[in-house]
Chains A and B, each alone.
Chain A
Amino acid sequence: MEILFYIFGIVAVVAAISVVFQRTPVYSALSLIVVLAALAVIYLLLGAPFIAMVQVIVYAGAIMVLFVLVIMLLNAGHEGPSAHRARFARWLGPPLLLAFIVEFAVIVWKQYGLTGAASAQPLDASPAAIGRLLFQSYILPFEVTSILILVAVLGAVVLAKKQV
């Protein structure tokens, strides 16, 4: 079980590097789908089957199809070289990002130890349990979310109209 986590973790990191460094948006989008699928497998391993399925259906299914559709619609091709780019950013950026990762790793290591297991006792994460929690404790956020989606749909229609 653990070995699957490491395999898919490495797949996710490699695909994420590909998302960032591909110069063609379609390749970035396809790499992002690989990241999302690998994360869905990791969610399954971590005992969150419902979230894993939502990840595949909503994220990899719906959202990424929207992305690929817009990339094709706008015919987004190869990204050209930038006209103005700060020279010191190239030398300062990677060390700072690496420092961020190391700093975070040290904090986590001090807080949780290097090999502290991620679970205390098994958790009932079935869709029924999530549904009960969603419609009892989290009913207000749920309703607010439905209004948010309504506003987002209206906003998308208004923004995509001919004259803006």
Chain B
Amino acid sequence: MIPLSHILLLSVILFTLGAAGFIIRRNVITVFMCIELMLNAVNLAFIAFSRRLPSLDGQLFVFFVIVVAAAEAAVGLAIIVALYRNRNSLAIDDVDSMKM
């Protein structure tokens, strides 16, 4: 049997890598992919707890997270396309209008 703690450790390692990438990357698309990585880490924890309880609700939450991620990807990538059209750049450093 796979121990629950090992699954959760894998989940938190993936989440930490996603959070690190979110901070250190400077390409908008890569930052967006790091968000997807964090969402997947959370999904893994949901599945692990769904198996532990045992209850199907965790798997349905994962289902909803995937649906929301799909909607988020559609809107987010449209925003990135609009951003590129206006600034002609994908670097996060160039999008600093709201910086003091």
- A residues bordering B, Cβ < 8 Å? 1-2, 5-6, 9, 12-13, 16-17, 19-20, 22, 25, 28-29, 32, 35-36, 39, 42-43, 45-48, 50-51, 54-55, 58-59, 62-63, 66-67, 70-71, 73-74, 76, 79-80, 82-84, 93, 97, 100-101, 104-105, 108-109, 112-125, 129-130, 133-134, 138, 141, 145, 148-149, 151-153, 155-157, 159-160, 164
Contact = CB atoms under 8 A, between A and B. Distances in A.
A interface, over-half SS: helix
Nearest to B17: A16
B67 A149 contact: yes
- Rank and list the top 7 A-B pairs by shortest CB-CB distance, nearest first: A152-B71, A20-B21, A117-B1, A159-B78, A156-B78, A123-B54, A118-B4
A124 B10 CA distance: 25
Interface of B: 1-10, 12-14, 16-21, 23-27, 29-30, 32-34, 36-37, 40, 43-44, 47-48, 50-57, 59-60, 62-64, 66-75, 77-82, 84-86, 90-91, 93
A149 B50 contact: no
A54 B27 contact: no
A35 to B, nearest CB: 7
A112 B4 contact: yes
A132 B70 CA distance: 23
Contacts of B40: 35-36, 39, 59
A120 to B, nearest CB: 6
B16 A51 contact: no
Contacts of A157: 78
A93 B24 contact: yes
Contact of A55 (B2, B66, B86): B66
A7 to B, nearest CB: 12
B29 A76 contact: yes
A97 B19 contact: yes
Given A19-B37, A145-B67, A35 B5 contact: no
A87 B80 CA distance: 29
Contacts of A67: 29, 32-33, 73, 77
B2 A118 contact: yes
A133 B78 contact: no
A153 B16 contact: no
